[in-house]
Amino acid sequence: MAVTINVSVNAGVTVNEQYDATSSPGTGQVTLSFNEFNQNETLNSSSTPPATKFIAEKYTGTQNLDFTALARTALGDTVDASGLKLQLLLLVNLSTTDDVTISDAAANPYSINGTDDVVVPVGGYLLMQFNDQLDDVAAGALGMDITPGAGESFQLVLVFG
């Protein structure tokens, strides 16, 4: 069975600044819109970077992820990302009281930020695109730990290629 995925990546902020006639004499009401830095792209098997496998899950509590055996609850299967690179990570912290910490696993760590942890604040989210710059998933680099506050939940998307 051949499976193709297309990943739509949209990272951006649009700021609208509205001026009334007093602040902008002679022109009436004026709105300035800024979105120049927004990023929109599609990743798939032939893009650079490529995207060929993914998971999208909601988790509760600490997760010790093994990138060679990632369960996909909704699809009832397991993803093995061996030989692929982590291309994109989206983590949404659903907690209203606690941060979520992403760290290298104690054994066979897969590093996304050197050896430093990444903290996603209460109610925040993190979108990271690695653009083919991380290691291939392999025996010595396959694990990541994600730790929310006790009993707290988060959503996670991982895209490999």
Mean pLDDT of the chain: 93
Residue ranges of domains in the chain? 14-40, 42-160
Give the pLDDT score at 28. 66
Residue range 141-154: average pLDDT? 95
Res 27: pLDDT: 65
Distance between CA atoms of residues 18 and 68, nearest Å: 50
Q: Taking 90 as the threshold, does the pLDDT of residue 104 lie above it?
A: yes
Q: What is the pLDDT of residue 33?
A: 87
Q: To the nearest whole percent, how much of the chain has pLDDT over 90?
A: 80
Q: Which of 112, 151, 152 is nearest to 133 (CA)?
A: 112
* Contact indicator for 16, 31 with CB cutoff of 8 Å: yes
Share of the chain above pLDDT 70, in %: 96
More confident of the two residues 24 and 5: 5
Residue predicted with more confidence, 53 or 3: 53
pLDDT at 18: 82
Of 21-25, 100-104, 136-140, 157-161, the one with minimum mean pLDDT is 21-25
Collect all residues with Cβ–Cβ distance below 8 Å to 16 and sequence separation of at least 6. Answer: 31, 32, 33
**Which ranges of the chain would DSSP assign to H, the alpha helix?**
none
**End-to-end Cα spacing for the chain:** 18
What dotted CATH number matches 42-160? 2.60.120
What is the model's pTM? 0.91
The dihedral sign for the CA sequence 62, 82, 142, 52: negative
What's the pLDDT at 115? 92
Q: How many CA atoms lie within 13 A of 125 on its CB side?
A: 10
Tokens of 58: 């909601």
